[in-house]
Amino acid sequence: MNTALAQADHAVEALRAERRDEYYPQFHLAPPAGWINDPNGLICIDGVYHAFFQHHPYSEHWGPMHWGHATSRDLIRWQHQPIALAPDTPYDKDGCFSGCAVDDNGVLTLIYTGHVWLGEPGDDSQVREVQCLATSEDGLGFVKHGPVLAAPDGIQHFRDPKVWRENGEWWLVVGAKENGLGQVRLYRSADLRAWRFDRVLAGAQAAHQGYMWECPDFFPLGEQHLLLFSPQGLAAQGYRYRNRFQSGYLLGHWRPDSDFRVTQPFCELDAGHDFYAPQTFTAADGRRLLFAWMDMWESPMPSKAHRWAGALTLPRELTLAADGSLRMNPARELTALRRESHTFLAQTLTNQQLPLADDVQELTLTLRPADNDAERYGLAIGSAARLFVDNQAHRLVLERFHENRALCTCRSVPLPEGDSLSLRIFIDRSSLEIFVNQGQACLTSRIYPTAGDRRLSLFAEGGRAQFEPITGWQLASLWG
3 state DSSP class of 14? helix
pLDDT in tens, 388-420: 999 999 999 999 999 999 999 999 999 988 889
Q: Is 38 annotated as catalytic?
A: yes
**Residue 111 pairs with which residues in a beta bridge?**
100, 133
Element (H, E) at 263: strand 261-268
Q: 451, exposed or middle or buried, with CB in 10 Å at 0-12, 13-18, 19+? A: exposed
Answer CATH for 3-330 from 3.40.1280.10, 1.10.3470.10, 3.40.50.2000, 2.115.10.20 = 2.115.10.20
Backbone angles phi, psi at 84, to 5 degrees: -85, -40
Mean pLDDT within 285-290: 97
Residue 1 is predicted with a pLDDT of: 54
Residue 312 is predicted with a pLDDT of: 98
pLDDT at residue 84 tops 60: yes
CA distance 348 to 168: 61
Q: Which phi-psi region, left, alpha or beta, contains residue 241 (left: φ > 0; alpha: ψ -120 to 50)? A: left
**Cβ distance 413 to 398 under 8 Å?**
no
Mean pLDDT within 362-377: 95
CA distance 181 to 56: 29
Query: Of 9, 38, 160, 217, which one is the catalytic site residue?
Result: 38
pLDDT in tens, 451-472: 889 999 999 999 999 999 999 9
pLDDT at residue 2 tops 90: no
Q: Kindly report the average pLDDT of the chain as a whole number.
A: 96
Banded pLDDT at 480 (limits 50, 70, 90)? low
Helices assigned H by DSSP within 17-119: none
Taking CA atoms, 230 is separated from 183, 219, 249, 278, 375, in Å, by 11, 16, 8, 8, 35
Residue 479 is predicted with a pLDDT of: 85
Percent over 90 (pLDDT), the chain? 94
Least confident of 50-59, 299-308, 412-421: 412-421
DSSP for 377-420? EEEEETTTEEEEEETTTTEEEEEE--SSGGG--EEEEEPPSSS-
Taking CA atoms, 383 is separated from 10, 45, 84, in Å, by 38, 43, 40
DSSP for 422-475? EEEEEEETTEEEEEETTTTEEEEEE--PPTT---EEEEEEEEEEEE--EEEEEE
Number of alpha carbons in the 13 Å side-chain half-sphere of residue 36: 26
Are 3-330 and 335-475 equal in CATH topology? no
CA distance 44 to 18: 33
Number of alpha carbons in the 13 Å side-chain half-sphere of residue 353: 12
CA distance 366 to 103: 42
Residue 452 is predicted with a pLDDT of: 85
**Cβ distance 452 to 366 under 8 Å?**
no
What CATH class has 335-475? mainly beta
Percent over 70 (pLDDT), the chain? 100
Domain ranges of the chain: 3-330, 335-475
Mean pLDDT within 145-155: 97
Mean pLDDT within 255-281: 97
**Residue 149 pairs with which residues in a beta bridge?**
131
Q: Which of 287, 334, 286 shows the shortest CA–CA distance to 313?
A: 334
